[in-house]
Chains A and B, each alone.
Chain A
Amino acid sequence: MILNFKVNNTNHETNIDPSTPLADVLHDVLGYKSVKQSCSTGICGACTIRINGEARKSCLHMAGQAADSDISTVEGLSQNGSLSPIQEAFIDNFSFQCGFCTPGFIMSTAALLDENSSPSDEEIRDSLHGNICRCTGYLAILDGVKDAAKRMNKGGN
């Protein structure tokens, strides 16, 4: 079936089985390598992307379900070669080590901060509950999110 995927404002028309997991379409077919399947059961959050602004687990969406929606991935965050404030804050706060889970954490953070520019610790924890990291112990990630919120409130984008 020919489906259209709008990813980071770019349209891709592709012939694909509509029941293919969206994560595989994005990673294997369209080349958005930040999107990774890890647990493939909706637990780990490594495949988190945004659909129409909402954080979603792309392993638990069918290609057909997401066609024609607004999809965004980490690849779309940097502008003119500069990293976004969330990415910079994650680097400066050592909010990742191996990096496998990071795109998912960043997309969950982006969805949170768009909705709530000054989240409490509790709100951050709730928003990142669906993302698992095996390296950092999470505290550095919380610091990264709080720092990202500060940078964005100071007028970054």
Chain B
Amino acid sequence: MISETTYHRPDSLDQACNLLSENPEAVLLSGCQSLGLLSKEGIISLDTVIDLNGVPELSDISYKNGFLHIGALATHRDIETSKTVQKHLPLLSTAATQIADVQIRNAGTIGGACAYADPTADYPPVLMATNATIHSQSSTDSFEYTARDGFFIDYYQSAIGPEEIITSIKIPLPENAGYGFEKLAYRKNDRAIVNVAAILESKDGVCTRSDISVAGVWDTPLLANKTMEFLIGTELTEETISQASDMAREEILVCEDPLISIEYRSAMVGALTKKALTIAKEDLS
């Protein structure tokens, strides 16, 4: 007989970190919306579980000094319905509304989604485009990772170490930006075939900031660096946006998928980038 899971439900972050350092093999539990599948498929074994849901300081959502702070345990539903997020970063609440369904959004968390690093997930392109940082803690240290630079390391692999707990996400907020988020899926709110997050800023019609991230097509979310560079200093017109989308289609790497051809997905990268940029541009005014 398989022995019973040892289950811990710490009520503070320090206690959770100490438990994890004493049991480095332990599995952290947030919403269970991905863990439930991993354990059912036998991919992960649940000998020891540390349930984070009793740690109160991890659910906070707040705005301070130009940054949005989101606790790791904030659920997709919290983020979707938070007045603070809707006001300061509608790009993130829009992405949250497109995750699965109400039941899953009620349980799944942003911390769990970051740790899981699903290449088709909906927050990663937003965290890349906004240049967010991901913060974690162990029993002895705290760590900061940059979404754009080394956090999403590989297919379902984030940079979080085995003794770290993600505690929050911190997002620097642009002042007068326009946002676009576009997702293509088989069914509304299914996992993304392609998703794109775009941020634009402009002065007198000329683009002063452009950030574009595409996910769902490669092992990690990607930045469209060349396209972003191209747009800076150009006038934002239908034509330049169209040129930018062609560039994004060219530069974004697309891996093979048994069900969808590379050509189709590349074409969709172009089409969704165009849509996201157009919406971001309209959002500017």
Contacts and interface: CB of A to CB of B under 8 A. Distances in A.
A42 B226 CA distance: 39
A1 B7 contact: yes
Contact of A45 (B46, B101, B189): B101
Given A42-B33, A60-B107, A62-B49, A55 B7 contact: no
Pick from B4, B188, B189 the residue with the most CB of A within 10 Å.
B4
Nearest to A62: B32
Interface string A113-138: 00000000000001101110000000
B159 interface: no
Interface in A75-121: 108, 111-112
B7 A19 contact: yes
Contacts of B65: none
Interface stretch (B34-42, B122-130, B173-181, B235-243): B34-42
A112 to B, nearest CB: 8
A65 B8 CA distance: 10
Task: Using C-beta atoms within 8 Å of the partner chain, give the interface range for chain B.
Answer: 20 to 34
B49 A57 contact: no
A130 B36 contact: no
Contacts of A64: 5, 7, 9, 49, 51
B253 interface: no
A32 B276 CA distance: 46
A40 interface: yes
Interface residues of A, number: 28
A62 B29 contact: yes
A129 B101 contact: yes
B7 A59 contact: no
Given A1-B4, A19-B39, A64-B49, A130 B102 contact: yes
Contacts, number: 80
For the residues of B in contact with A, the DSSP-based class is: mixed
B208 interface: no
Interface in B162-205: 188-189
Contacts of A126: 102
Interface in B11-69: 29, 32-33, 36-37, 39-40, 46, 49, 51, 53
Interface in A17-32: 17-19, 21
A34 interface: no
Interface string A36-79: 00001110010010000011110111101100000000000000
A9 to B, nearest CB: 21
A119 to B, nearest CB: 12
B103 A48 contact: yes
Contact of B4 (A17, A55, A131): A17
A48 B36 CA distance: 15
B182 to A, nearest CB: 18
Nearest to B106: A54
Contacts of B107: 56-57, 60-61
Given A65-B29, A129-B189, 13 more contacts: A17-B4, A18-B4, A21-B40, A45-B103, A54-B77, A56-B103, A57-B107, A61-B107, A62-B7, A62-B32, A64-B9, A65-B53, A130-B101
29 contacts: A1-B7, A18-B4, A18-B5, A18-B7, A19-B5, A19-B39, A19-B49, A21-B36, A42-B36, A42-B103, A42-B104, A54-B106, A55-B102, A56-B106, A57-B103, A57-B107, A60-B32, A61-B32, A62-B32, A62-B49, A64-B5, A65-B32, A65-B53, A112-B102, A126-B102, A129-B101, A129-B188, A130-B103, A131-B101
